[in-house]
Amino acid sequence: MQAWKLAKLKQYYQTQLYEAAGDDKKINKRQIAKLYGISAQNLNNYIKRKNWNDLTEFVYVPLDIKPGIKKNEPLNGSKSKLTGEMLEQLFEYARRTEDDGKPTFTNQEIAEKLGISVSTFYKYHQENIHFYKTLRSARRLGQVEDAMLKSATGYKYVESKVEDIVVGKTGEKTGEIKSTKIIKEVTPDVRAQKYLMSNIVPEEYTENKKVEQKITISEDIDVSQLTDEQLEKLMKDIENGDKE
């Protein structure tokens, strides 16, 4: 499927999902697939592979707005429970992230913590610009804070390298390839440490205090040369190091 058509399909599906309060069982997927000229199985494959059921970054654009209804006007004349205090709670829950950088709480879990239903959560997200901006800003801030913390403490990652296998001195390619996994280490950034310290404990850290940067020299490790036992021990050491 062409990229532009796939993007339209994604927007249409997520809009239907949004209006169904996140319950995909209420969506007629077969009808959507038929509308875009694909099978229901292909649609399900797109949904699972591209994680279209995650509405975290979704921006709602109503497919059909009834005349006379304003975007920020409460529906059904019901009294809104949305308060400034709820927005503050929303911000704190939405900004939290796990060690892997993923949000700690899903939208559904945040709704439960705020004491509202999932449908009410998405209703506020649609109708109230303050709710929408608070959620979006908190999610983005959480990503930045996670990246800043990793930069300050240092981290390790695995890099894959693929090379052609050549014959002796001639350098002729054999048609085979060799895949090597290298564990890379990014050392802590003293500037990020300085920024975090001045913001987290400003009373203990000032510009006048010296910051000593511990410089560590590490070599790349070719894990393809390790035995299973050595590899298992190395991965445990990395995990333990990340926890310290």
Query: What is the reported pLDDT for 140?
Result: 82
pTM > 0.85: yes or no: no
* Distance, C-alpha 166 to centroid of its chain: 40
Give residue 162's pLDDT.
Answer: 77
Q: Which two tokens stand for residue 36?
A: 């875009």
**Domain range annotation of the chain:** 1-62, 65-148, 157-243
- Report residues of the chain scoring pLDDT below 70: 59-80, 166-171, 174-175, 196, 198-228, 230-232, 234-244
pLDDT at 113: 93
Residue 156: the pLDDT is 80
Report pLDDT for 109. 94
C-beta of residue 239 within 8 angstroms of C-beta of residue 233: no
What does the pLDDT read at residue 105?
93
pLDDT in tens, 217-226: 344 555 455 5
From residue 204, alpha-carbon distances to 11, 200, 209 in Å are 49, 9, 9
